[in-house]
Structure 1
Amino acid sequence: SQDLIDGAYNAFVRFFALPTDIKKQYHVAGGGGARGYTPFGVETAKDSKYFDLKEFWHVGREVRDEKYAEAMPANVWPTEVPEFRDRALALYGALDALGSRMLSALALHLGLPERFFADKTNNGNSILRPIHYPPITTDDVPNVRAGAHEDINLITLLVGASAEGLQVLSRKGEWVPYTAEADTIVVNIGDMLQRLTNHVLPSTTHRVVNPPGEKARQPRYSTPFFLHPNPDFVIDVLPNCVSADNPSRYPEPITAQGYLEERLREIKLK
């Protein structure tokens, strides 16, 4: 519901307004950004020379199977914003349920059983990521708020960002601006689903550019939900996505956790 989204956003905005030294207390050293706070100037889009102009927080799955404990550490919560935990977990749960419904629809589209993804994502290492893009105060920064990239996971659900800047790369190779309506949830396909479907479902290349003029002086807030499979799920090309016209591009299977770690190194989080 909109109230649930607004409540979560209000808590996230309150956290990002805290002094930097307090926020940095929630940075988990050596944790690859898996939980808690990642400060400004760390994440860098793959193959980019410049870090992204953003800081963010990671909320993971709260009810965890012990066998995934190493891949899925416990959550961290900021005591300065007491409502942060409950509001973040409520939004996480709602988007996790919606994401499962989206995957059921995609399974049917791919000619798979409707519940194909259910037991492959029920302990998924999914992440809710509140992001703060601070105001840009000079005109000549080479960095952008988020460089061109594809998401790592299966699908991403994005609930209304607070300012313009999101652009999606079209099949013609043109950047198309996208502004979410207040009650719209954007769904992106990520690289894990692209790999699983042998590019039948291609991942969405997108970026967040710095808006022009005075609009760049405004902060931007965004909260994507990255839906991941269970860490031990083996990403192996689906047989019905291989044909004479589309031979398998990925003969070597890889676990979801192995793939995630490989990609985190590329974007400077590991």
Structure 2
Amino acid sequence: MPSLTVPYVPHYVAAPPSKETLEYADLAIIDIPKADTEEGRTALAIEVREALLNQGFFYVVNHGYSQDQTDRIFDIADLPFSAVSDSEKQTYAGTMKQSGSYQGYKLRQYWHIDAGVHDQIEHYNINRDVTKRGHPETLRPLLPEIKEFSKHNHFNVLHPILRLIARSLELPEDTLVNIHDYDAVGETFVRFMKYYPRTEEEETKTRNIWLKGHVDHGSITILWSQRVAGLQILTREGKWHWVRHIKNALVVNAGDALDFLTGGYYKGTIHRVTKPPEDQRNYPRLGVFYFVMPNDDVKLVPMAESPVLQRVGIHRRCVDSEAPTMEIMEESEDICLWPIETGEWRREGCGTRSHQWGDS
């Protein structure tokens, strides 16, 4: 009988939930097991469609991980930051600016936020193929668990969502699943991410912005809901609303690649991270994500065979012959979102992608 013993990991003690009154976004809650029946899939496809059209974000509940399993993942997520020396972190630093790949560490003070202030955010990014590159010594015994976590996100959360999105477009249910293969070449990855509190001077200079407004450049992002508030989305009415923490829920949003694939029908929502409310002000903010990209060789052209897109009209960012593959999108470092004088947001280009450098 195989051993059920897992490596010891210190328990990460998260901040208590905020009790402050915040203006929260009204996001749909998708109960994913309902997709097990034909009737449930029909109903959920409508819910997902409305959520993507109106907010671009929604929650997923009953996703198959218990609270204990989720707690264990957050315990593991803290290790790259609390149990790895600065010198070892440098050994495994990523090369985002040079290659577009987010594998490895994104170290603190990598991005300029505003007025000479750089970020206080650390990432550790692990490709779904955990053998693609080396890892810090403390994480190596945990790679089997991280791999299983990646597979859970991919097969038990992502694929059901992609089937619902395809259904909402009146396409065969596996249309999007077929271009998001787990074993294909691509940059889909788990991210562990930690925000550290900043000085009052830094907050003043940056207007309390910790991560500037941006749209994720993949197709779907899965965020495991975290206690420390800070995530805000820009509503269709142009107002910033907070995303509420729901215990053991997932926060799912569309990215730029889905905008390409749906001809602008499902747009990524601009979101940012700000200083937490005062009762969580001095706590670090630990996050767990699954960032999803289509397979590298997928050409990001609209799925023109969709009857829905044919009815509503397709808005191409460029002619199909010039559309980038996902690999080209990953490699591009061009900024394609920035504020203009009217307060609106502009998006340009075909090989460009939105990322953390877009202004807030």
| Aligned position for 1:135 | 197
Distance of 2:313 and 2:104 partners within structure 1: 44
Deviations, residues 182-213 of structure 1 (Å, cap 9, x unaligned): 12111100000011111111111111101244
Give 1:66's aligned residue. Answer: none
Cα shift at 1:115: 0.7
Q: Is the CA contact (8 Å cut-off) linking 1:195 and 1:250 kept in structure 2?
A: no
CA offset at residue 15 of structure 1? 2.2
Partner of 1:184: 249
Q: Distance in 1 between matches of 2:265 and 2:82?
A: 42
Give the secondary-structure state (helix, strand or coil) at the position aligned to 1:5.
Answer: helix
Whether the 8 Å contact between 1:136 and 1:216 is mirrored in structure 2 is no
Q: Which residue in the other structure is 1:79 paired with?
A: 137
Are the equivalent residues in 1 in contact too, given 2:100–2:330 (CA < 8 A)?
A: no
Q: How do 1:168-183 residues align onto structure 2 when only pairs under 5 Å count?
A: 168-183=233-248
Alignment of 1:1-270 (within 5 A): 1=65, 2-18=67-83, 19-28=85-94, 30=98, 32-43=100-111, 51-62=118-129, 74-97=132-155, 98-122=157-181, 123=184, 124-141=186-203, 142-143=205-206, 144-213=209-278, 215-239=280-304, 240=306, 241-242=309-310, 246-251=314-319, 252-262=322-332, 264-266=333-335, 267=355
SS of equivalent residue, structure 2 residue 264: coil
Aligned positions, number: 258
Q: Distance in 2 between matches of 1:134 and 1:201?
A: 33
3-state secondary structure, aligned to 2:90: helix
Structure 1 residues 56, 33: closer, same or farther in 2, change over 3 A?
farther
Question: What is the TM-score normalised by the length of structure 2?
Answer: 0.65
The 1:33/1:230 distance shift into structure 2, 3 A limit, reads closer
State the shift of 1:247 in Å.
4.2
Quick one: distance in 2 between partners of 1:230 and 1:160?
26
Larger Rg: 2
Q: Secondary structure of 1:235's match?
A: coil
User: How far, CA to CA, are the matches of 2:285 and 2:115 in structure 1?
Assistant: 21
Cα deviations across residues 39-66 of structure 1 (Å, max 9, x unaligned)? 0122468x99864431101111218xxx
| Residue segments in structure 1 that go unaligned for 5+ positions in a row | 64-72
Question: Structure 2: 5+ residue runs without aligned partners?
Answer: 1-64, 336-354
Percent of residue pairs bearing the same amino acid type: 24
Letter in 2 for 1:20: D
Q: CA deviation at 1:214?
A: 5.3
Shift in alpha-carbon separation, 1:28–1:113, aligned structure 2, 3 A: same
Which residue type is aligned with residue 290 of structure 2? F
Distance apart, 1:180 and its partner CA: 2.4
User: In the alignment, is the contact (CA less than 8 A) between 1:169 and 1:175 conserved in 2?
Assistant: yes
Contact 2:223 2:251 in 1 (8 A): yes
Contact kept? 2:101, 2:187, Cα under 8 Å: no
Amino acid at match of 1:193: L
